Chains A and B, each alone.
Chain A
């Protein structure tokens, strides 16, 4: 099969960008989408043109590095599948495939299809953890966790932090990502002590990063390669509401009488 690739090229954040069109050589339908980009890039490099910059690493759908909006949809045509696990058999001979970066104000462009998603990390720095010093943990089986809670927490914890939810949202909201993180820890008994402090800190940082508000269109859930459920957003909103009602926790002085 052969395809025509219409791809976004942009030298850096301050240069103007635009689409460029490339004809592919003969491709094998068992090639992955990223292997198709590898083939085009070898062709460009051999012809003296700069290869297309694109993010990728594990190529098995778990690291969350790959991105790309393919024919208008983050991670391409299939539900629950990341770009790196999309195969050329999903396209037909003669197709025109349009490839763009994930676009959002909070994800500044680096080059071509590569964007900077460090805002996600900064949200995690604000509260995406359970405070447990190394060595301070009790025996693992001393904290039983109901299987249902563990399974639901795992559903949320599967998030790979790729940012497709943001790219799909008309408001560029990061609610699904943050909700997955908040719910993973908030569903477990270990996560209870910091549950409300955590949700407030993470939502505050999310807003500070410039992500938009959630208007529950559900486009995030539709494109999520791990099929994270919209229910987690409802759960986070509930936790956030409770956190606001609880107000600021009183700062207690440390130390003793001695």
Chain B
């Protein structure tokens, strides 16, 4: 068992971060350069952390498996970034952003972390604008905003449909400046394959050079993981194909607890699956729901008709009907489940019946096609390229797809895991989004962690470590980790199996979607655990890897990552099975509101909405490795204490 101490500072919620910063130990400038920090990952969190730590004077080494930090998957975020600037004078505030995020996460996030996130959000926009991020502007030259799901104010800043790209290029430019100045050593095409723990502290990593296959050891005074989420466990997702869980999974196997692995976000507006060759699902930004109306036919027999031939009265605008206050801007988990419900009723559209319409005809009539084109032109073009359909003329067809993982390595208020010296940022940690993330909050969290939180919290840990005394790479723990990586590589290359890694990934993805997807049951999860553990056994007997270890070898890279996904998939099912409640993105069919519940009768919720069980499950599940893949993991709990907010029923009606 491990004790998960959140280390939340004392004092009133709104004053915690200020007083924390004052009370944290600082390191004098002459000593800072004696500390070496490894940052793994170069997305929003990794790049911003690396640049900022280097500005502060630390020696920083950054590792990324891409050929360039600029290609990290943050680049693909479309819609925007939230900040409590209240530039629109529409009633926004730090407290409102905090509250919306806590409520959006279905009261399963830590209050103190979320409040800090909301406070820091305003600094992020200042920082990015100063770096030259070309945010959308009004004609007066001031910043423009749009609204996003789960909020009734316009607090989202954006750069056309490419906000993630522009924010990443901003963080990358800050990183470039420090690389150019010699303050950061940047390793690209470098994949972390193990964490080195010396006397209980994270003190280094083992890395494979993807171009040469060379395996090297790197020591440091602290290790920071900013390696993103693990949605590719499902194979089909909106993630980049290379996005993987290997860094956090190998850290888990070295003792870091995994927080809430079952909290997965299924995004409501993605292009539906078209065939079994499919390698990825494409997101259509949630911002489209500002102007698009979601509907399906009221009658099953209309589903195969052309949408234009279905009369207005025969259309069911189900989000507007079910959630009148938020309508088409209902949060993602709710919108996704509603789409699944209407499709399960047989009212889905498109060839597979797994799709709903996202219709812009009302917006085009109201604003004109040009205005719609200006707002969403690139998204309409992308939709056309993929489906060969013109969304100006006919409604888009969309369906939910795996998009984000709220779970991740457990961290305390310092963003430090239970392994001292190991920090985890961005999507790779579990911390700020509870059981469901609101739109435009991932970019906010990545940059908050990297620019502002970690640079302030890491000094507290470093101050407890003697400067210049980190263990050398000839230490036994480094040798053991290197041998571990070598052995795994040799095992994969030497396996005389018959099936490609990709075929296992497909099978795993289907198992996960069927048993641990949008709706979960006890029986389904138990079956999923059994089937996935069988798949794991088959994998190590029957996987076939092409090529050699001393060269560029994508088959080998994938084989390692997929082996980890299989184990993680099993843990996700175990977590989902143990959490006998529904909350946010985690929906257990056994726990939903019925027409007879008082909340339903009061009109707060709809029958079928998620039903939390705060008496039994108001905690973070921090899973600890059992020592071997076939040994059950150990459950540790961090109770969630709400001092400021009342844990109410989450209503968007």
Q: List A residues at the B interface (Cβ < 8 Å).
A: 11-12, 27-28, 30-32, 34-35, 38-39, 42, 45-46, 49-51, 53, 55-65, 78, 80-81, 85, 87, 89, 110-111, 114, 116-118, 120-121, 124-141, 143-147, 150-151, 153-154, 157-158, 160-161, 184-185, 188, 190-191
Chain A residue contacts of B547, Cβ below 8 A = 50
For window 54-84 of B, CB contacts with A under 8 Å fall at 55, 66-71, 73, 75-76
Asked if B600 lies at the interface with its beta carbon under 8 angstroms from chain A, I say no
Docked Cα-Cα span, A92 to B502, in Å, equals 27
Residue from A12, A63, A161 within 8 A of B240 (CB atoms): A63
Closest to B177 in A: A129
Asked if B515 lies at the interface with its beta carbon under 8 angstroms from chain A, I say no
Chain A residue contacts of B136, Cβ below 8 A = 150
When the two chains form their complex, are residues A140 and B125 in contact, meaning their CB atoms are under 8 A apart?
yes
Chain B residue contacts of A154, Cβ below 8 A = 134, 159-160, 166
Binds A, one of B218-226, B270-278, B329-337, B406-414: B270-278
Smallest CB separation, A118 vs chain B (Å):
6
Asked if B452 lies at the interface with its beta carbon under 8 angstroms from chain A, I say yes
Smallest CB separation, A216 vs chain B (Å):
26
Asked if B93 lies at the interface with its beta carbon under 8 angstroms from chain A, I say no
Given A42-B503, A45-B544, answer yes or no on A60-B282 (Cβ-Cβ < 8 Å): yes
Chain A residue contacts of B132, Cβ below 8 A = 130, 153, 184-185, 188, 190-191
Smallest CB separation, A120 vs chain B (Å):
7
Asked if B436 lies at the interface with its beta carbon under 8 angstroms from chain A, I say no
Given A12-B551, A62-B76, A62-B162, answer yes or no on A150-B137 (Cβ-Cβ < 8 Å): yes
Contact digits for B140-173, partner A, Cβ 8 Å, 1 yes 0 no:
1111000000000000000110101110010011
When the two chains form their complex, are residues A150 and B241 in contact, meaning their CB atoms are under 8 A apart?
no
Docked Cα-Cα span, A53 to B188, in Å, equals 18
Those 9 A-B pairs whose CB atoms lie nearest each other, nearest first: A144-B141, A137-B130, A129-B173, A140-B129, A125-B180, A137-B126, A154-B134, A58-B240, A111-B552
Chain A residue contacts of B51, Cβ below 8 A = 134
Binds A, one of B382-390, B483-491, B588-596, B604-612: B382-390
For window 104-141 of B, CB contacts with A under 8 Å fall at 123, 125-132, 134-141
Given A57-B242, A125-B179, A125-B180, answer yes or no on A153-B134 (Cβ-Cβ < 8 Å): yes
Asked if B459 lies at the interface with its beta carbon under 8 angstroms from chain A, I say no
When the two chains form their complex, are residues A135 and B87 in contact, meaning their CB atoms are under 8 A apart?
no
Docked Cα-Cα span, A160 to B67, in Å, equals 13
When the two chains form their complex, are residues B546 and A45 in contact, meaning their CB atoms are under 8 A apart?
yes
Docked Cα-Cα span, A136 to B551, in Å, equals 44
Q: List B residues at the A interface (Cβ < 8 Å).
A: 48, 51-52, 55, 66-71, 73, 75-76, 85, 87, 123, 125-132, 134-143, 159-160, 162, 164-166, 169, 172-174, 176-177, 179-180, 186, 188, 211, 240-242, 274-275, 277-280, 282-283, 381-382, 385-386, 388, 451-452, 455, 500, 502-503, 544, 546-547, 551-552, 554-555
When the two chains form their complex, are residues A134 and B55 in contact, meaning their CB atoms are under 8 A apart?
yes
When the two chains form their complex, are residues A141 and B68 in contact, meaning their CB atoms are under 8 A apart?
no
Among B179, B211, B277, B503, max chain A CB count under 10 A is at: B277
Among B75, B134, B386, max chain A CB count under 10 A is at: B134
When the two chains form their complex, are residues A59 and B211 in contact, meaning their CB atoms are under 8 A apart?
no
Given A62-B162, A131-B177, A137-B129, answer yes or no on A53-B554 (Cβ-Cβ < 8 Å): yes
When the two chains form their complex, are residues B76 and A63 in contact, meaning their CB atoms are under 8 A apart?
yes
Closest to B165 in A: A62
When the two chains form their complex, are residues A57 and B131 in contact, meaning their CB atoms are under 8 A apart?
no
Chain A residue contacts of B141, Cβ below 8 A = 144-147, 150
Given A125-B176, A146-B141, answer yes or no on A38-B123 (Cβ-Cβ < 8 Å): no
Smallest CB separation, B396 vs chain A (Å):
15
When the two chains form their complex, are residues B67 and A65 in contact, meaning their CB atoms are under 8 A apart?
yes
Docked Cα-Cα span, A134 to B56, in Å, equals 9
Chain B residue contacts of A157, Cβ below 8 A = 134, 159, 166, 169
When the two chains form their complex, are residues A57 and B240 in contact, meaning their CB atoms are under 8 A apart?
yes
Docked Cα-Cα span, A136 to B135, in Å, equals 19
Chain B residue contacts of A135, Cβ below 8 A = 123, 127, 451-452
When the two chains form their complex, are residues B134 and A132 in contact, meaning their CB atoms are under 8 A apart?
no
Closest to A54 in B: B554
Docked Cα-Cα span, A128 to B180, in Å, equals 10
Chain A residue contacts of B500, Cβ below 8 A = 42, 45-46
Closest to B238 in A: A60
Given A89-B388, A134-B174, A144-B140, answer yes or no on A59-B280 (Cβ-Cβ < 8 Å): yes
When the two chains form their complex, are residues A190 and B129 in contact, meaning their CB atoms are under 8 A apart?
yes
Chain A residue contacts of B555, Cβ below 8 A = 45, 50-51
Docked Cα-Cα span, A140 to B135, in Å, equals 10
Given A121-B176, A133-B55, A137-B130, answer yes or no on A144-B142 (Cβ-Cβ < 8 Å): yes
Smallest CB separation, B14 vs chain A (Å):
20
Given contacts A51-B546, A144-B141, A157-B159, 13 further A-B contacts (CB under 8 A): A30-B274, A45-B544, A49-B546, A53-B552, A58-B75, A58-B76, A59-B241, A60-B76, A64-B70, A121-B176, A129-B173, A132-B127, A140-B129
Given A63-B71, A134-B55, answer yes or no on A147-B131 (Cβ-Cβ < 8 Å): no
When the two chains form their complex, are residues A121 and B68 in contact, meaning their CB atoms are under 8 A apart?
yes
Closest to A110 in B: B552
Docked Cα-Cα span, A98 to B19, in Å, equals 63
When the two chains form their complex, are residues B130 and A190 in contact, meaning their CB atoms are under 8 A apart?
yes
Given A42-B502, A131-B177, answer yes or no on A60-B280 (Cβ-Cβ < 8 Å): yes
Chain A residue contacts of B164, Cβ below 8 A = 62
Chain B residue contacts of A158, Cβ below 8 A = 160, 162, 165
Among B131, B381, B455, max chain A CB count under 10 A is at: B131
Chain B residue contacts of A38, Cβ below 8 A = 277, 279, 502
